[in-house]
Amino acid sequence: MSKTILMLIVIIIALLSLYSCKQENIIPIDENKQANGGIKVEKAIFAAGCFWGIESAFRKVNGVTNATVGYTGGYTKNPTYKDVCSGRTGHAEAVLVEFDPALVSYEQLLDVFWKIHDPTTMNRQGPDIGEQYRSAIFYNNEKQRISAIASKNKAQERFDREIVTEITPASEFYKAEEYHQRYYEKHGLYGCSISNEEKSMKKEDLKFEITKTDEEWKQILTPEQYNILRKKGTEMAFSGKYYKNEEKGLYVCSACGNELFYSDAKFDSGSGWPSFWKPVSDKSVVTKPDNSHFMQRTEVLCGKCGGHLGHVFDDGPKPTGLRYCINSVSLDFKKETSNP
């Protein structure tokens, strides 16, 4: 009898241990917590495609105390990355953001969310396709729900196509495998900034050969060109006329004709914008730190007129390791002609 009781105790302990192991990757999302020093920390959950870059972007926001990648919004318990990639779990790759509301508000995080992905593509971001890459906001309370809806309505004014982001109550958030956490940081990828910022010129140091007033630029540029080149707008991903251009030639500034990039330096980054690994020369473009939208990035400007071209990141191919992510609207293309 004693052996039987002992065996039952061992089995119960084993089952409890197994249950505990399965539950340890579930992060509570329906409560706030006190961080070190008694700081009140709130939580927000966003899905916007591959969670590596989304986590990296939110970590750079002042006031964010932590960001964890994981899976949520589905019906499979304790999913693995392989499970989610199968597209049969209902889960989305998501990021649980913990933040200090005294430094950054939930509404400001929503602003970042709309800026770092395309919310008009259904179940897709860039080359990643499937419902696990859908755009979604998982709200934790009624206040967040109201803010999310209001922010979505405001963001819609900036997009020609309808925003398809789902706004839904938060459910269990399953922490992703450890190798996914801080992925960009572990692999030396900085999706929102480049490491050689010392090469960037400060705004007050920038001087350009061609200078015009806003009114003069409006007379020269189309409304779309003016919005991007002079007001630092961004065209929608995968919408630019040069994104898939494979012809040989030279890309020049659409505002002043300055030579910017040879087609030989163009590559398919899957980002949705024309990408180049180097400019024509060191004088073709200039860069400067860009801390807008609560992110740390490096802006690329035309070296001749100062027009906004895009941003540069250090996740490009060799030999430079750089990715100049450029708006098609900022470019004109001169096709290479063969000698008769």
Q: Is position 10 within any domain?
A: no
**pLDDT computed for residue 289 by the predictor:** 85
Q: Provide the residue range defining the domain that includes 259.
A: 197-335
Determine contact, residues 315/132, Cβ cutoff 8 Å. Answer: no
Tell me, yes or no, whether 5 lies in a domain.
no
Instruction: Look up residue 170 and give its DSSP letter.
Output: -
pLDDT at 18 (0 to 100): 45
43: tokens are: 């939580």
- C-beta neighbour count of 117 within 10 angstroms: 23
Is residue 283 located within the same domain as residue 238? yes
Based on the fold, state whether residues 98 and 129 are members of the same structural domain.
yes
What pLDDT sits at residue 187?
A: 66
Predicted local distance difference test score (pLDDT) of residue 148: 97
**Residue 35 token pair:** 């961080």
The question of whether 50 is a catalytic residue gets the answer yes
How many domains, in total, are found in the chain?
2
Residue 104: the pLDDT is 94
Q: Around Cβ 333, how many Cβ atoms within 10 Å?
A: 18
Domain boundary among 119, 151, 186: 186
pLDDT of residue 204: 44
User: Do 168 and 47 have their domain in common?
Assistant: yes
Q: For residue 169, which of 139, 191, 142 has the smallest C-alpha distance?
A: 139
Q: Cα–Cα distances in Å, from 54 out to 58, 72, 191, 192, 242?
A: 6, 15, 9, 10, 26
Residues 225 and 93 reside in one and the same domain: no
Q: Catalytic pick from 50, 192, 256, 302? A: 50
Question: What pLDDT, on a 0 to 100 scale, did the predictor assign at position 323?
Answer: 93
87 inside domain: yes
User: Is the distance from CB of 156 to CB of 280 less than 8 angstroms?
Assistant: no
Last residue of a domain, one of 186, 207, 238: 186
Q: Is residue 9 part of a domain?
A: no
- Is the domain of 45 the same as that of 153? yes
Residue 203 has a pLDDT of 42
pTM of the model: 0.53
The residue from 192, 256, 302, 325 that is catalytic is 325
What residues contact 207, with CB distance under 8 A and at least 6 apart?
none
- Residues in the chain predicted with pLDDT less than 70, given as ranges, are 1-25, 27-38, 126-127, 187-206, 292-296, 338-340
| 309 DSSP 8-state letter | E
> Does residue 171 share a domain with residue 31?
yes
